[in-house]
Amino acid sequence: MNYSHIELILAIADAGSISQAADNLFVSQPFLSSALKRAEDEIGTPLFKRSKSGVTLTPFGHEYVQYARNIADQIETLNSLYNSKQVPQFRLDVASMGFCFLYPMVAEIRKKFQKYPCSFQLYEASTHEQIQLISAGSYEIGLVVLDDKSKKQMLRSIKAKGLEYYRLQDVQTGIYVARNCKTVPSSVKELDENSIQYLVGMPYIGLHVEPRDMHVYEYWSALDSLIKAQDQRYIVSSSGMRSEMINQYNGFGTAGYCSALYEKYPFTEPLRFIPLAPSVNFGYELGWIQRQNQQRSPLANELFQMVSE
């Protein structure tokens, strides 16, 4: 099969009609029907179901078209690159839940690709919002945190949107306080039924990505009750703003901490992480989402290697 067949198949899939696709391509309908039949004969299975109202993709056709679109996108990129004889330009669009390890990673990637023009877009979003953004093609990849309780449901949502998920590593749950916080003594190394009392009266500072995704306190009723009883509770739009408010207001926030990544890419926020004690901890994991059968961009592939180590 040559690339012209792929172009014709994609045109039919987009139009939902052989006659409309023929009009769009400025070819005759018999020619397009004949070309499609030759392609399907070569493949060995139908790609479309024919009806009076048009054509729809078969299950195999759906899978074929996903791969075909990736090929078409890559060929378009290559043609643009070599026809214009321009220096290649790279970009990385990442949606995440505001992980600080991303910043030194992006700096390292930028250094590696410093000979080429690069653009980076980092956006903080909840898991639900990331699924929508990546499915729509607004962002290439997403970095999410899933818990044991809701993982199956979230994976169904991810798959239903034509995305795929890769588990990266465990996430430790706990809280953040200011690095020089006196209310919670430095001797407190973990949060349990006794040390939680230090948080009484401290403002709670939460991230907007958390309400539907990272209710770490839902699993521990004592922390849940304490947060709901606080006189001051704030929900902010970015991890940077949360860090600033925790320091300015002497507050605390619930958090996930990727210890393996922060060992290599040090945590630079002026915060102190206090993990939950094993007796009240629960399972969280860091994961990567992208469109199914997607060929990662060079920068995304570099990032994937970093977060997978």
Is the pLDDT at 185 greater than 90? The verdict is yes
Q: Spell out the CATH class of 3-84.
A: mainly alpha
As a whole number, mean pLDDT of residues 54-77 equals 87
pLDDT one-digit tens code per residue, 67-126: 888 888 887 777 766 655 555 678 999 999 888 889 899 999 999 998 888 999 999 888
Give me 112's structure tokens: 């590696």
As a whole number, mean pLDDT of residues 158-179 equals 92
Alpha-carbon span 227 to 252, nearest angstrom: 10
Query: What is the reported pLDDT for 23?
Result: 87
Q: What is the 3-state secondary structure (H, E, C) of 115-168?
A: CCCEEEEEEECCHHHHHHHHHCCCCCEEEEEEECCCHHHHHHHHHHCCEEEEEE
Q: Where in the chain is the domain with CATH 1.10.10.10?
A: 3-84
Task: Determine whether domain 90-167+286-308 maps to CATH 3.40.190.10.
Answer: yes
Confidence tier at 217 by pLDDT (50, 70, 90) = very low
Give me 271's structure tokens: 């915060």
The closest of 309, 306, 307, 299 to 140, measured between CA atoms, is 299
Sequence-separated (6 or more) residues with CB below 8 Å from residue 6: 68, 71, 72
Half-sphere exposure of residue 256: CA atoms within 13 angstroms, side-chain side: 29
Alpha-carbon span 143 to 191, nearest angstrom: 26
Is the pLDDT at 238 greater than 80? The verdict is yes
Q: Where in the chain is the domain with CATH 3.40.190.10?
A: 90-167+286-308, 172-282
* Phi (first) and psi of residue 206, to 5 degrees: -110, 160
| Topology classification of domain 172-282 | D-Maltodextrin-Binding Protein; domain 2 (3.40.190)
Alpha-carbon span 40 to 37, nearest angstrom: 5
Alpha-carbon span 279 to 288, nearest angstrom: 28
pLDDT one-digit tens code per residue, 284-297: 899 999 999 888 99
* Residue whose structure tokens are 């070599």: 82
Query: What is the reported pLDDT for 222?
Result: 75
